[in-house]
Amino acid sequence: MKKIGLLGGTFDPPHIGHLIIADDVYHELGLDEVWFIPSQIPPHKNAASVSADKRLEMVEKATSGRDYFFVKGIELQRTGPSYTIDTIKQLKELYPDIDFYFIIGADMVEYLPQWQAIDELIHAIQFVGVKRPGFDLVTPYPVRLVDSLVVDISSSDVRSRIKTRRPVRYLLPESVDRYIREHKLYE
């Protein structure tokens, strides 16, 4: 059975923290691939500041060159909040023979009790939690913990740095940095 990691996110913008956790979990769990899934409308936070199409394009740029990273626009075809339960049901129907592992940072692990249909979701998918500065990796749910490199980078910090003209060059893949400058995003 193929083992696929899923990294859902707003990716507003994608940064090297996303790539590092995806790669660490890929290696630690011996996955076949990792699929990046940009959300249309994040279920629990303010709408993204950049359109879904542009976020998708940035994720494609960020992951290009890694033959086991893929981008799936599955949530961009739905309207309304991008609940993970809906995505997982869709994926399981499309790919009944794949074992999925949903990767989340410690901030999301803490927030799991508030997720849509969490009691159903927790049985439908294996969650994989990774550390994140400022959050405890403690949860009553059966989340598999992976000791990934702790990276203190967030999309909100990247956005705020761009707005205040501080450097972001080494926080993002070069192609994403260039895309942001070309399209004058987050200024």
Ligand X SMILES: O=C(O)c1ccc[n+]([C@@H]2O[C@H](COP(=O)([O-])O)[C@@H](O)[C@H]2O)c1
Per CB under 6 A, residues contacting ligand ATP are 9-12, 17-18, 21, 104-105, 107-108, 130, 132, 151, 153-156
Q: Could you say whether residue 116 binds ligand X (CB under 6 A)?
A: yes
153 interacts with, out of ligand X, ligand ATP, none, CB within 5 to 8 A per kind: ligand ATP
Q: How near is the Cβ of 5 to ligand X at its closest, in Å?
A: 13
Q: How near is the Cβ of 50 to ligand X at its closest, in Å?
A: 13
DSSP for 5-52, written as a single string: EEEEE--SS--HHHHHHHHHHHHHHT-SEEEEEE-SS-SSSPPPSS-H
130 interacts with, out of ligand ATP, ligand X, none, CB within 5 to 8 A per kind: ligand ATP
Instruction: Return d(Cα 49, Cα 106) in angstroms, integer.
Output: 23
Number of residues that bind ligand X (CB under 6 A): 16
Judged by CB under 6 A, the residue of 26, 83, 127, 186 near ligand X is 83
Reading the block at residue 171, the tokens are 């926080």
Cβ-contact 32, 47 below 8 angstroms: no
With 0-12 / 13-18 / 19 or more C-beta atoms within 10 angstroms meaning exposed / middle / buried, residue 140 is exposed
DSSP for 139-160, written as a single string: -SS-PEEE-PPP----HHHHHH
Reading the block at residue 165, the tokens are 């003209």
Q: Which is nearer to ligand ATP, 1 or 43 (CB)?
A: 43
Q: How near is the Cβ of 11 to ligand X at its closest, in Å?
A: 7
Cβ-contact 149, 131 below 8 angstroms: no
Q: Which is nearer to ligand ATP, 97 or 117 (CB)?
A: 117
> How is residue 3 annotated by DSSP?
E
Site string for ligand X, 3-32 (x = CB under 6 A): -----xxx----------------------
**Under the rule (CB under 6 A), what is the footprint of ligand X?**
8-10, 37, 39, 42-45, 82-85, 108, 115-116
